[in-house]
Structure 1
Amino acid sequence: MTSSSTEVQILRTVLDRWRSAVDAHDPDRVASYFTEDAIFQGLHPYTVGRDGVAGYYAAQPIGMTATYDIRETRRLADDLVLGYLSVDFAFTDRPVVAVHLGVIVRRIGDTWFISHYQVSRLG
């Protein structure tokens, strides 16, 4: 991994909050970690904005949890960090879904938010 510790820490701060809210099945809290104009592409058609993010996670089954591993990071600008991750979504009643996740997090004031989220399934 060619990531710097600063970028990894920025991503961990945002993604640990995201994971906590996903694991708690709290779609509104998940959405609050995204920018107002976030582009969101889960495993369904894309959406823009927090309402779409909340709707997507509200439709996920209770008991779904996420585990992630940061693979690469890049600092795109002072207030933008790109992350490339592997994520396993576990369920109570079906096999784990393993995906690749690309995110761009953006600093607004003193807080970092997800502004772009794109999932692709592993082959």
Structure 2
Amino acid sequence: MHRATTTTTDDEKILHSVLDGWKTAVDRHQPDQVAAHFTEEAIFQGLHPYTVGRPGVAAYYDAQPLGLTADYRILETRRLAEDLLLGYLTVDFSFTDRPTLTVSLGLLLQHTDHGWAIAHYQVSR
């Protein structure tokens, strides 16, 4: 039986490479750029009903208020297969008009022909 490996520096670098671009696009309120960090058929669960695919991700972030920013911290990673990487994070979403919302975020990154992208995204309070 193959066991998933624990957090490694290389896996954290992969997560940062995807999430830094995601964060930049969130902070700049660029919903199409946020969605570009997801696979074509990504399952996305924010704090509203889930959606599948980049258009739903873009619509979710387009509906977020201007001034929203995201700061994340990687807590754990697991390499599930050569082309699959699990990440568990905490994210602080800051707003201009209300208190910061801290959430837990589980991600599954998949290596595609175009590089690493988010295949599954699930937030919980």
Whether the TM-score (by the shorter chain) exceeds 0.5 is yes
1:55 is matched with 59
Q: Which blocks of at least 5 consecutive residues in structure 1 are unaligned?
A: none
**1:29 alignment partner in structure 2:** 33
From 95, 100, 114, the counterpart of 1:96: 100
* 1:73 match: secondary structure: strand
Do residues 77 (structure 1) and 81 (structure 2) align?
yes
TM-score w.r.t. length of structure 1: 0.96
Distance in 2 (alpha carbons) for counterparts of 1:12 and 1:109? 19
For residues 83 and 38 of structure 2, the distance between their equivalents in structure 1, rounded to whole angstroms, comes to 14
1:110, distance to aligned residue in structure 2 (A): 5.0
* Residue identity matched to 1:86: T
Moved over 3 A (4+): none
Shift of 1:87: 0.2
Amino acid at match of 1:115: A
Partner of 1:45: 49
TM-score (norm 2): 0.94
Distance 1:43 1:32 in 2: 20
Q: 1:26-55: per-residue Cα shift (whole Å, max 9, x none)? A: 000000110000000000000000000000
Question: 1:109 offset after TM fit, Å?
Answer: 2.1
- What is the match of residue 19 of structure 1? 23
**Count of aligned positions:** 120
Return the letter of the residue paired with 1:9. Answer: K
- SS of the equivalent of 2:117 reads strand
